[in-house]
């Protein structure tokens, strides 16, 4: 039987500390990948993931609505990323792959990474495409990039992103639209400059 986040948070708040371990197991991989895509450094992402859960362990008592635990946890993770950037630790390399922490290896994501049957030329083209996309993603404003990454790579819904960022749904959608428009424009410019 799988318990809801809300139930586990409430049980934890009522004194059953073991329930928080279930929340960690449930959310650790997603939070790690979210942080990794924002920070761009595997080891730093591991540290920030631990920091996120340590902070959540202490601060969850301040959460007004246990049903909003996931959005709140992403907000804690995002704040950890922002603090890392301020300290100068975060890098501006946007990784598009994800890591499977149980096997500590890269995984394919949405057909972007190399396929086993790729020829060396196809593999090189894919890698070049990924590098161009990373470079262009790094060039767009953070508020737009963050929403694109959350929507396209974290598979979050618009209302979840709005809750995490604590902004109106319409703002999320407009930033997504502007971000994708800027992304397309920059990709076209880069393609034209390569010719």
Are 5 and 67 spatial neighbours (Cβ–Cβ below 8 Å)? yes
- The Cα 64–Cα 82 span in angstroms is 23
Confidence of residue 89 (pLDDT cuts 50, 70, 90): low
CATH classification at residue 144: 1.10.10.10
Same domain, 79 and 129: no
User: Domain span at residue 172?
Assistant: 114-195
Same domain, 83 and 152: no
Q: Is the dihedral of CA 171, 173, 179, 185 positive or negative?
A: negative
Same domain, 93 and 126: no
∠ CA(34), CA(39), CA(40), 5° rounding?
100
Same domain, 140 and 164: yes
pLDDT at position 99 is 47
Structural domain count of the chain: 2
Rounded to 5, what percent of the chain is helix, strand, coil? 70, 5, 25
pLDDT of 17 above 70? yes
Taking residues 99-111, report their average pLDDT: 40
Taking residues 86-114, report their average pLDDT: 49
Same domain, 77 and 127: no
Same domain, 119 and 98: no
Same domain, 2 and 73: yes
Same domain, 187 and 129: yes
- pLDDT above 70 as % of the chain: 83
Last residue of a domain, one of 49, 76, 107: 107
Winning range, highest mean pLDDT, from 1-5, 46-50, 145-149, 191-195? 46-50
pTM: 0.75
- The Cα 68–Cα 160 span in angstroms is 10
Last residue of a domain, one of 78, 107, 136: 107
């Amino acid at each position: 039987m799988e318990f809801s986040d809300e139930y586990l948070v409430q049980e934890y708040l009522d004194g059953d500390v073991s329930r928080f371990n279930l929340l960690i197991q449930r959310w650790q991989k997603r939070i790690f990948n979210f942080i990794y895509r924002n920070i761009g450094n595997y080891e730093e992402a591991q540290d920030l993931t631990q920091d996120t859960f340590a902070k959540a362990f202490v601060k969850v008592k301040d959460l007004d609505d246990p049903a909003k635990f996931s959005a709140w946890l992403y907000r804690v993770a995002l704040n950890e990323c922002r603090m890392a950037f301020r300290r100068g630790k975060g890098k501006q390399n946007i990784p598009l792959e994800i890591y499977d922490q149980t096997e500590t290896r890269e995984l394919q994501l949405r057909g972007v990474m190399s396929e086993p049957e790729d020829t060396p030329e196809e593999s090189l083209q894919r890698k070049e495409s990924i590098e161009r996309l990373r470079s262009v993603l790094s060039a767009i404003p953070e508020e737009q990039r963050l929403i694109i990454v959350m929507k396209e790579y974290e598979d979050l819904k618009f209302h979840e992103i709005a809750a995490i960022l604590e902004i109106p749904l319409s703002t999320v959608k407009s930033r997504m639209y502007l971000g994708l428009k800027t992304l397309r424009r920059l990709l076209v410019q880069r393609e034209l400059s390569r010719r």
